[in-house]
């Protein structure tokens, strides 16, 4: 047991997130003033790590190069927290023999940090140095961040406040995948129909209020769940409502997540095409039949190829495809096989995810340590993906991390030139208001003056969403549409 002694009562959340990168639940415990060693059984194999409580004490243990970071402008409190994280990192690195690629970074948006540093420091070399000596990132991850920031700067300028990212959620799927932690239900036809009615009301309400404020959608993303679970007529009705309700004169991008190949038909693609929607996502995750079966998919690799063929025949110009590295029992050669087959299909975007198992997933219930067992293999899979995609003309354009990712790695969106997804960039940048409609949608009101986002969630359960629709609309009125309150 690793006993990590903190100097005083502090918010240990970020420190614990870092510790979890090295150690499994049950391998460590934090000791604080209220939770002392008296209450915890000692054992000879215990390892005690005492985290120093003042910058001076930690400072003594840092290398001269690391001390330079004290001049990088962090607030004192944040600075102390980062010092503690660096201290813990070094101790745990030595004790466990593990050096995580993302250093002390535990947040989900490292690209945002790199972008902010570039604005603040105005020197690429200085930014690289900070990411290396303050945050302990590997050179490879630093270069990845710099490449992505560079790419994003060319695609999106600062969004005007009136430009909104609009998300519409369809929380239904034909079956539930074993790793799924999203709102995904196998609703009966009449339930789906009632859900759509409620959603149409929220669409009309939001569109009217956006018009009053002079706001317009810059991007629209219909996600889920799997939106193509809807019947063609339902999808048509939904899109009709969207086109009727919103002012789409300045719309730059419209995506419908087709997701599961077993929901894609020529009729649904014809509806998507009728509304001139330029992007869909077909998400095989793996091209290995046995894996698809194991993860709870009802379709074969052939169905995926057929879905691509249908989408191309329908004239959909941009297809994104999601893959996952680290799926249960997949070997490196299984993953390379998936990559080769996907590259043959030539989608415009490929998003390579690292499997992240959250508490809500079935697989996490079966094996709670799954995330820790796959690290080495997943690193090699991600490296091979980068190499193969680079060779085929794809470049990384957005990146995010999640909690509980296998090996503590990342998700990277790759794109062919001029096909980058604007919505994906904006949502990670956190510099735009996102309005999310439907069950599980989390709107984010952006306050540029304070560089702050405020979350306005809808309830996740779709039945409760229908019941409490008025309350969801009121939340939007209070937090998005009413004149801004002093905060």
- Give the residues lining the site for ligand SF4 (CB under 6 A): 173, 176-177, 180, 182, 184, 224-226, 259-260
Closest approach of ligand SF4 to the CB of residue 260, in Å: 5
Rounded CA-CA distance 434/451 in Å is 15
In the complex with ligand SF4, the residue whose CB is nearer, 228 or 408, is: 228
In the complex with ligand SF4, the residue whose CB is nearer, 106 or 285, is: 285
Q: Which of 185, 191, 188 is nearest to 173 (CA)?
A: 185
Q: Tell me the Ramachandran region of residue 285: left when phi exceeds 0, alpha when psi lies from -120 to 50, beta otherwise.
A: left
Rounded CA-CA distance 380/368 in Å is 23
Tokens 């959603």 correspond to what residue? 199
Q: How many helices (H) and strands (E) does the chain have?
A: 19, 14
Tokens 């992007």 correspond to what residue? 279
Closest approach of ligand SF4 to the CB of residue 235, in Å: 16
Closest approach of ligand SF4 to the CB of residue 246, in Å: 25
In the complex with ligand SF4, the residue whose CB is nearer, 371 or 433, is: 371
The answer to whether the bond into 260 is cis (omega within 30° of 0) is no
Closest approach of ligand SF4 to the CB of residue 110, in Å: 24
Closest approach of ligand SF4 to the CB of residue 401, in Å: 18
> Are 339 and 323 a contacting pair, CB within 8 Å?
yes
In the complex with ligand SF4, the residue whose CB is nearer, 85 or 353, is: 353
Tokens 């079956």 correspond to what residue? 175
In the complex with ligand SF4, the residue whose CB is nearer, 103 or 227, is: 227
Element (H, E) at 220: strand 216-224
Q: Which residues contact 391 (CB under 8 A, 6 or more apart)?
A: none
Task: Give the CA radius of gyration of the chain.
Answer: 24
CA distances from 178 to 113, 182, 231, 320, 330 (A): 33, 11, 25, 22, 14
Closest approach of ligand SF4 to the CB of residue 362, in Å: 10
Neighbours of 165 (CB within 10 A): 26
Closest approach of ligand SF4 to the CB of residue 296, in Å: 7
In the complex with ligand SF4, the residue whose CB is nearer, 208 or 329, is: 329
In the complex with ligand SF4, the residue whose CB is nearer, 103 or 183, is: 183
Q: Which of 324, 322, 348 is nearest to 334 (CA)?
A: 324
Neighbours of 478 (CB within 10 A): 11
> Are 412 and 140 a contacting pair, CB within 8 Å?
no
In the complex with ligand SF4, the residue whose CB is nearer, 53 or 296, is: 296
> Are 120 and 149 a contacting pair, CB within 8 Å?
no
In the complex with ligand SF4, the residue whose CB is nearer, 114 or 258, is: 258
Closest approach of ligand SF4 to the CB of residue 364, in Å: 13
In the complex with ligand SF4, the residue whose CB is nearer, 255 or 433, is: 255
Rounded CA-CA distance 47/298 in Å is 48
Closest approach of ligand SF4 to the CB of residue 323, in Å: 13
Closest approach of ligand SF4 to the CB of residue 386, in Å: 24
Closest approach of ligand SF4 to the CB of residue 356, in Å: 11
Closest approach of ligand SF4 to the CB of residue 484, in Å: 35
Q: Which of 165, 119, 118, 120 is nearest to 142 (CA)?
A: 118
Sign of CA dihedral 54, 59, 62, 66: positive
In the complex with ligand SF4, the residue whose CB is nearer, 224 or 347, is: 224
Ranges of H-type helices in 136-274? 139-155, 189-213, 232-245, 266-274
In the complex with ligand SF4, the residue whose CB is nearer, 296 or 317, is: 296
Q: Which of 242, 310, 245 is nearest to 282 (CA)?
A: 310
């Amino acid at each position: 047991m690793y006993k990590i002694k903190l100097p005083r009562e502090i918010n240990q959340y970020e420190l614990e997130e870092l510790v979890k990168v090295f150690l499994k639940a049950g391998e460590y415990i934090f000791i604080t003033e209220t939770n002392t060693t008296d209450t915890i059984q000692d054992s000879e194999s215990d390892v005690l790590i005492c985290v120093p409580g003042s910058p001076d004490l930690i400072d003594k243990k840092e290398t001269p190069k690391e001390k330079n970071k004290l001049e990088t402008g962090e607030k004192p409190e944040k600075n102390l927290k980062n010092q503690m994280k660096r201290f813990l990192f070094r101790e745990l690195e030595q004790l466990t023999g593990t050096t995580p690629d993302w250093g002390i970074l535990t947040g989900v948006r490292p690209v945002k940090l790199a972008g902010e540093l570039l604005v603040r420091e105005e020197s690429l070399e200085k930014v690289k140095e900070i990411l290396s000596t303050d945050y302990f990132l590997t050179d490879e991850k630093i270069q990845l961040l710099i490449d992505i920031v560079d790419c994003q700067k060319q695609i999106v300028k600062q969004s005007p406040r009136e430009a909104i990212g609009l998300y519409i959620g369809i929380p239904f799927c034909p079956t539930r995948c074993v790793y799924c932690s999203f709102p995904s239900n196998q609703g009966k036809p009449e339930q789906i129909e009632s859900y759509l009615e409620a959603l149409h009301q929220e669409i009309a309400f939001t569109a009217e209020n956006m018009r009053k404020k002079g706001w317009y959608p810059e991007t629209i993303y219909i996600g889920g769940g799997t939106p193509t679970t809807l019947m063609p007529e339902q999808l048509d009705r939904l899109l009709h409502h969207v086109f009727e309700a919103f002012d789409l004169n300045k719309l730059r991008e419209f995506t419908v997540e087709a997701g599961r190949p077993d929901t894609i038909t020529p009729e649904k693609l014809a509806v998507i095409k009728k509304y001139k929607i330029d992007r869909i996502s077909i998400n095989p995750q793996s091209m290995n039949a046995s894996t698809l079966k194991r993860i709870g998919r009802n379709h074969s690799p052939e169905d995926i190829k057929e879905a691509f063929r249908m989408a191309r025949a329908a004239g959909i110009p941009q297809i994104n495809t999601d893959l996952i590295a680290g799926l249960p029992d997949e070997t490196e050669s299984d993953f390379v096989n998936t990559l080769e087959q996907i590259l043959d299909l030539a989608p415009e975007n490929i998003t390579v995810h690292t499997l992240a198992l959250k508490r809500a997933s079935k697989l996490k219930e079966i094996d709670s340590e799954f995330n820790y067992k796959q690290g080495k293999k997943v690193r090699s899979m991600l490296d091979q993906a980068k190499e193969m995609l680079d060779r085929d003309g794809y470049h990384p354009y957005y990146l995010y991390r999640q909690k509980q990712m296998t090996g503590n790695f990342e998700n990277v969106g790759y794109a062919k030139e001029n096909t980058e997804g604007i919505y994906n960039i904006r949502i990670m940048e956190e510099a735009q208001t996102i309005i999310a409609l439907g069950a599980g949608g989390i709107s984010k009101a952006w306050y540029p003056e304070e560089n702050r986002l405020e979350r306005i969630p809808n309830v996740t359960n779709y039945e409760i969403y229908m019941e409490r629709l008025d309350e969801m609309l009121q939340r939007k009125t209070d937090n998005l549409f009413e004149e801004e309150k002093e905060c």
